[in-house]
C-alpha cells in the first residue's frame, strides 16, 4: 500500500469523520482516498478553495464533535499557520499531515526534503507547545496517523504528522488491524447537567472537557487571551501568564506519555540519530558497519516535538560520537547537539544531494573519518 493511502486508512481507523483539503503534490493521494472512504463510514470530505479555508473548516468541524484532519505540503502549511495557532490557543483537537517536499517557496513538488521539521514548533507566533510525529514507512503512516488522532483528542491540540515524499509515495506491505484491535482515544466531553460552578476540580485539570456546538452549552471560542471559563481578557498580564502556562504545561507535564524514541539498535561507540525516511539509511549503514566489525548503533526520533531531550542525553552517555542525519541543512541538529554535546562529539551529516536519501557508503566513509 502507498504511504499516503495508509495514512488515509489510519485516519478512518482512528474515527476521523471530516477532512477538508486542497490538492497539492505530494499529499494529494490522502485527500483522494478519503474522498472515497469517508462517505463509506458516515463522514464528509470537502475540497476547499485553498489551504486557509481548509484548516478553518477542520477547526470548525472539530468544535461540532468531529475528529477532523487536513493534509498538505510545505506551501500549504505556511498558509495554515495562523489558523493552526488559533487551534492551539482555542485547544482544538485536529490532525495536520505535512508530506514534505523540496522548498523554499514552491520548490520542487516531486522531490523529498525534511525541510519543515522546525516549522510546527516555531511557525506560529507566541509561546506554545506542539506535538509532531515522523513516520518512516507506510506501516507507520497508518500507525502514527492513529496515534496522532489519539494525541490530539487526549490533549485537545493540533498534532502534526511530518511525513515526506519518499514515505508518502513509497509502497510496502501494511498490516491493517481489525477495528477491535485499534486503540482509540476520544476527547472528554461534559455530560448532561455539567456546570463549571459545581465541578471545582474542572479549572485545575490539565485538559478540560470540551463543550461542543449544538450539545446544550453556551460555548465561547476566542483567539484572544481568555480564562478557564472562556472569558476574554486582553488587559491583564497575569491572565496571559496563566493562559500560556496552561497551554505549555498540558503537553510538557505529560511528555513521558507522548515522546517515543526507537532505540532497539542504539548500542555502539558511534550513534546515528535520524528520523523519518532517513532513518532507513541509518539502519542500513548500521548493519553494514557491524558486518565490518565497527561499533555503530542508531536511534530513531519518532516524536520530534516535544523534543526528546532527556532520551537523547541518556543515549549519548559514553559515546565517542553522535552523528545526526537529516535531509536538510541541519534543522534538528542544534537541538540534538544541545542535549548530547556534553557527552559526545556531535556531528551533522547532510545528504550528498539535498532531496536524495543518504548513500550508505557515504555514511560509512563519514563514520570512518569521525572515528580516526
User: What confidence tens digit (pLDDT) does each residue in 5-26 have?
Assistant: 999 999 999 999 999 999 999 9
Query: Does 141 lie in the same domain as 6?
Result: yes
Measure the CA–CA gap between 266 and 297, rounded to whole angstroms.
5
Mutual angle of helices 74-89 and 51-62, in 10-degree steps: 30
Give pLDDT, residue 194: 66
Query: Does 31 lie in the same domain as 9?
Result: yes
Measure the CA–CA gap between 157 and 84, rounded to whole angstroms.
9
Query: Does 74 lie in the same domain as 51?
Result: yes
* Mean pLDDT, rounded, for 28-33: 98
pLDDT category of residue 199 using cuts at 50, 70 and 90? low
Say which CATH number the domain at 269 has: 3.40.50.920
pLDDT beyond 60 at 115: yes
pLDDT category of residue 202 using cuts at 50, 70 and 90? low
pLDDT digits (tens, 9 = 90+) for 93-102: 999 999 999 9
The residue among 213, 228, 258 that closes a domain is 258
Helix (H, G, I), strand (E, B) or coil at 302: coil
Query: Does 238 lie in the same domain as 325?
Result: no
CB proximity list for 140: less than 8 A, separation 6 or greater: 167
What percent of the chain stands above pLDDT 90? 89
Measure the CA–CA gap between 163 and 135, rounded to whole angstroms.
6
pLDDT category of residue 231 using cuts at 50, 70 and 90? confident
The residue among 230, 258, 286 that closes a domain is 258
Query: Does 354 lie in the same domain as 250?
Result: no
Query: Does 236 lie in the same domain as 143?
Result: yes
pLDDT beyond 90 at 192: no
The residue among 218, 243, 258 that closes a domain is 258
Measure the CA–CA gap between 76 and 137, rounded to whole angstroms.
23
Query: Does 114 lie in the same domain as 64?
Result: yes
CA neighbor of 359 nearest in space, from 296, 268, 285? 285
Instruction: Tell me the sheet residues that pair with 160.
Output: 96, 132
Query: Does 243 lie in the same domain as 267?
Result: no
Domains in the chain, number: 2
Per-residue HEC secondary structure of 50-78 comes to: CHHHHHHHHHHHHCCCCCEEEEECHHHHH
Query: Does 353 lie in the same domain as 209?
Result: no
Helix (H, G, I), strand (E, B) or coil at 96: strand
Query: Does 327 lie in the same domain as 188?
Result: no
Cell of 247: 497551554
pLDDT category of residue 191 using cuts at 50, 70 and 90? confident
Query: Does 274 lie in the same domain as 251?
Result: no
Helix (H, G, I), strand (E, B) or coil at 181: helix
* CB 296 within 8 Å of CB 268: yes
What is the residue range of 182's domain? 1-258
pLDDT beyond 90 at 208: no
With 0-12 / 13-18 / 19 or more C-beta atoms within 10 angstroms meaning exposed / middle / buried, residue 127 is: exposed
With 0-12 / 13-18 / 19 or more C-beta atoms within 10 angstroms meaning exposed / middle / buried, residue 96 is: buried
pLDDT beyond 80 at 313: yes
Query: Does 295 lie in the same domain as 206?
Result: no
Say which CATH number the domain at 89 has: 3.40.50.970
pLDDT category of residue 229 using cuts at 50, 70 and 90? confident
Compute CA 108 distance to the chain's CA centroid, rounded to the nearest angstrom. Answer: 22
With 0-12 / 13-18 / 19 or more C-beta atoms within 10 angstroms meaning exposed / middle / buried, residue 291 is: exposed
Give pLDDT, residue 230: 82
Amino acid at each position: 500500500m502507498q504511504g499516503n493511502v495508509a495514512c488515509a486508512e489510519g485516519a478512518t481507523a482512528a474515527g476521523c469523520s471530516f477532512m477538508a483539503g486542497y490538492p497539492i503534490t505530494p499529499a494529494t493521494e490522502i485527500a483522494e482516498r478519503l474522498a472515497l472512504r469517508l462517505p463509506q463510514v458516515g463522514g464528509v470530505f470537502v475540497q476547499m478553495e485553498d489551504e486557509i479555508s481548509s484548516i478553518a473548516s477542520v477547526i470548525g468541524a472539530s468544535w461540532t464533535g468531529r475528529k477532523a484532519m487536513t493534509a498538505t505540503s510545505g506551501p500549504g502549511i505556511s498558509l495554515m499557520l495562523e489558523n493552526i495557532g488559533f487551534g492551539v490557543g482555542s485547544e482544538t483537537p485536529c490532525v495536520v499531515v505535512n508530506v514534505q517536499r523540496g522548498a523554499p517557496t514552491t520548490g520542487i513538488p516531486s522531490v523529498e526534503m525534511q525541510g519543515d521539521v522546525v516549522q510546527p514548533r516555531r511557525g506560529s507566533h507566541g509561546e506554545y507547545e506542539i506535538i509532531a510525529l515522523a513516520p518512516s514507512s507506510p506501516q507507520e503512516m497508518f500507525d502514527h496517523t492513529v496515534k496522532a488522532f489519539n494525541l490530539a483528542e487526549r490533549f485537545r491540540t493540533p498534532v502534526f504528522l511530518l511525513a515526506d515524499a519518499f514515505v508518502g509515495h513509497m509502497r510496502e506491505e501494511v498490516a491493517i488491524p481489525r477495528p477491535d484491535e485499534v486503540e482509540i482515544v476520544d476527547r472528554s466531553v461534559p455530560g448532561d447537567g455539567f456546570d463549571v460552578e459545581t465541578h471545582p476540580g474542572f479549572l485545575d485539570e490539565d485538559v478540560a472537557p470540551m463543550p461542543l456546538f449544538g450539545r446544550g452549552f453556551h460555548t465561547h471560542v476566542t483567539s484572544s487571551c481568555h480564562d478557564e471559563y472562556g472569558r476574554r481578557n486582553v488587559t491583564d498580564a497575569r491572565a496571559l501568564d496563566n493562559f500560556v502556562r496552561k497551554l505549555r504545561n498540558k503537553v510538557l507535564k505529560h511528555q513521558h506519555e507522548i515522546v517515543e524514541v526507537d532505540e532497539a539498535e542504539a548500542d555502539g561507540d558511534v550513534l546515528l540519530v535520524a528520523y523519518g525516511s532517513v532513518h532507513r539509511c541509518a539502519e542500513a549503514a548500521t548493519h553494514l558497519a557491524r558486518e565490518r566489525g565497527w561499533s555503530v548503533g542508531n536511534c530513531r526520533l519518532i516524536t520530534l516535538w516535544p523534543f526528546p531531550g532527556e532520551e537523547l542525553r541518556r543515549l549519548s552517555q559514553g559515546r565517542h560520537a553522535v552523528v545526526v542525519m537529516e535531509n536538510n541543512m541541519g534543522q534538528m541538529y542544534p537541538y540534538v547537539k544541545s542535549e548530547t554535546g556534553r557527552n559526545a562529539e556531535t556531528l551533522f551529516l547532510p545528504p550528498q544531494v539535498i532531496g536524495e536519501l543518504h548513500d550508505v557508503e557515504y555514511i560509512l566513509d563519514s563514520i570512518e573519518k569521525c572515528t580516526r
